[in-house]
Structures are given as C-alpha cells and as structure tokens.
Amino acid sequence: MTTDLYPAARDLLAKLVSFDTTSRGSNLELIAWVEGYLDDLSVPHRRVPNADGTKTNLMATIGPAIAGGAVLSGHTDVVPVDGQPWTTDPFTLHEADGRLYGRGTCDMKGFLALALAAAPELAKVARKPVHLAFSYDEEIGCLGAPHMIEVIRRELPAPAVVVVGEPTNMEAVNGHKGIATFHVTVTGRECHSSQPHLGVSAVMEAVKLMGSLNALSARLWDDVDPASPFTPKGATLTIGQVHGGTAHNIIARECHFVFDLRSPGPRTPAEIIAPFLAECAAMDAALKARAPEAGVVVDMHTDVPPFLPEPDGAAEAFARRMAGDNGPPRVVAFAAEAGQFQQAGFSTVICGPGSIDQAHQPNEFVEIAQMQRGATFMRRLIEWAAES
C-alpha cells in the first residue's frame, strides 16, 4: 500500500518556511538542514557555493548514477516581507480555509517540500536517478543556478528531463519571457540650489533618461505580434526603483535607478535598448564637458534568457504524464531558471504547485489541494523511477 506524501510534504514545508531565506541574506542554514535530512537517507549531495561562500546551491542524486534521470529544480530564496501587511508570522506556516500561509509557500518552497517528501521512497526503489537541484538568488536575477547547471552539464550522466517547480497550478508550462535588469547611475555636481549654473543636477538629467525609457515602454506595448501566446504579448519595460538627491536645496550629486526588460525574443535586450544606450553615452560626454566628475554609467545586472517552447519536448511530455495534464500548451510572462537549463541543452518544463498570483504578496499561500496534486505528481514520479 502506497502512502500519501502530502502529510510529510506539509511538515517539510513548515520547516522550510521557518528559515528566513530572503535573498539579501544567506540560505546556508536551510541548506544545512536539508543536507542533514538527506544524510539520514544516505543520499549523496554536494554544494555549489557563491564566490564568498555566503550562499550555495545544493545538488543531490537519488538512485543510480546513470543517464536518463529527471532533475527537480527549485530556488531556496524568497522575496522580502518588509512593509507588507501580513496578518500572521510570514515565517511560521499557518493553515486556514484550505490554504497554507507563509513566505515561500507558493514561490517556491512548496515544490521543494514535495521533492523532499518523495526522497525516502525514491532512495529505496529508484532504478533511474532523480536529481535535486536547489538554487540561491533566483529572486534577484537567477544568479545562482548557472554555476550549478554547468556542474550538472559537465559532471552528471545526462538527465533526460528537467522540471522547474515554479508555481503553475501543477500544469505544464513550456515557455517564459527572458528578463534583463539594468542599473543606471547618473553623477552630477553638488552646489546650492540657488546657483544651479554652478552645478549639474543628477536627478534632472536622470529624469530625461527615465522619460526616454517611458517612451520606449509605450512603443514596446504597441509593437507586438498578435499571435504571441504571452500576456502581455510583447516585451515590457518598467522602472522599479529610483534613489537620488540629498535635500530640496542641494543640486543633486547622484541619482540611481533600476529598470527591467522582459522579452519573449527573438530580439535581445541589447538590441531593444541600443538607442537608449546611445543616448546615455551622449549624455555622459555632455555632462563630463560641464563637470569632469559627472557622467552616466549603465550596468546590466542580470540577463536571463527566455524559455522557448520545444517541439515535442520530452520534459513537457514527462510533466504532463506525472501531473495528469491534458490541457493546451501554456506559457508564462514571469522569468525563471528554465531558460538557463534550456540554454545549457536540457529538455525543460515548468510545473509546480500554487499560482503566481499569490507569489510575492502579503499573506502568500499555496492551496492544500495544489500540494495534494503535487503529491500525486511525486507519487507517479516514484513509480517512474522504480521502472527498469
């Protein structure tokens, strides 16, 4: 008689949620706990850390070290809760009205909990390998996964499929937009605001650049392929953060802003913003002519590739079989690590419990019914891994 994996997954989710793995901090405490859990199952694992060792990816292989396995991939970091009106402790799992509340329940510790709940049985019966691939810093630009993906590509017997467990209501998703994030710093020259001719206002110059981006955003909104499966259909550009100036009566020395560009392809972010970069270069030269210390610097902080539908994709077929999904092809507008796995040559699909509508929100939750569907997915995965 097979056991229901949901109760174990719920308990594991409560433990995972209890670790504050907000991206600005470390995930090492959670990783160490997962390592202890895997040690109890005699499952081998290894870390793929960041440069200074303050964060790490975690890889583990359950079953034989042979080709043809499945990768279950998910990120361990979560977004901040600062300023959000939570009605319960975000780092304590709270159950009510058929939902499990807590930061990361939906995005995406629910999937990690399901994978770990399947591990004890997989460790006993697996004839095909199931690889766990838990990453760091997905929420700030998918920064951790590439190092782990390279290790998987270089050192593991080739997996047949990769399942990235982002929240999709346990439905197979075969495409997502790419995302590039840019940091722009405008430097001017401070002086008294009554003598603006003696200074250079970084804020007022930055406003010009942000106006250009706003105009570009409007053009992108209008320039779309009607057949695009995405919502919104085309590329989108938004300015998410602005910081600048010291006081109302000081000509601002610095203004810093951040924008993101989400594109389904085939145009690259560099192609889309080429005119803006040319404008920044021209402004940089003009500001330096007024004050040598002034200028404009643009830094591409992240560049996550789009995830493209794969004709007759093995991973999509696999996820549909595990999830019992016979629905139409689906894509999502949010970016994920799936594009990075695909770019490395792996057949990839996104499929996980919960809805992106609950991600990053106060009182984030995953429905218990979604976790139960995920438990069924993992039960079928165990059966698949046990087949010779």
pLDDT for position 215: 98
Claim: this prediction has a pTM higher than 0.85: yes
Helix 6-17 vs helix 368-386: crossing angle, to nearest 10: 110
pLDDT tens track for 318-367: 999 999 999 999 999 999 999 999 999 999 999 999 999 999 999 999 99
Q: Are 134 and 31 in contact (CB under 8 A)?
A: yes
pLDDT tops 70 at residue 254: yes
Question: Read out DSSP for 249-313?
Answer: TB--SEEEEEEEEEE-SSS-HHHHTHHHHHHHHHHHHHHHHH-TT-EEEEEEEEEEPPB-PPTT-
pLDDT tens track for 204-218: 999 999 999 999 999
Which domains does the chain carry? 6-175+307-386 (3.40.630.10), 178-304 (3.30.70.360)
Return the sign of the alpha-carbon dihedral for residues 368, 314, 382, 336. negative
Known catalytic residues?
A: 77, 138
**Tokens (6 digits) for 209:** 């650049």
pLDDT tens track for 114-150: 999 999 999 999 999 999 999 999 999 999 999 999 9
pLDDT for position 1: 46
Helix 6-17 vs helix 110-125: crossing angle, to nearest 10: 130
pLDDT tens track for 43-73: 999 999 999 999 999 999 999 999 999 999 9
3-class DSSP state for residue 180?
strand
pLDDT for position 2: 67
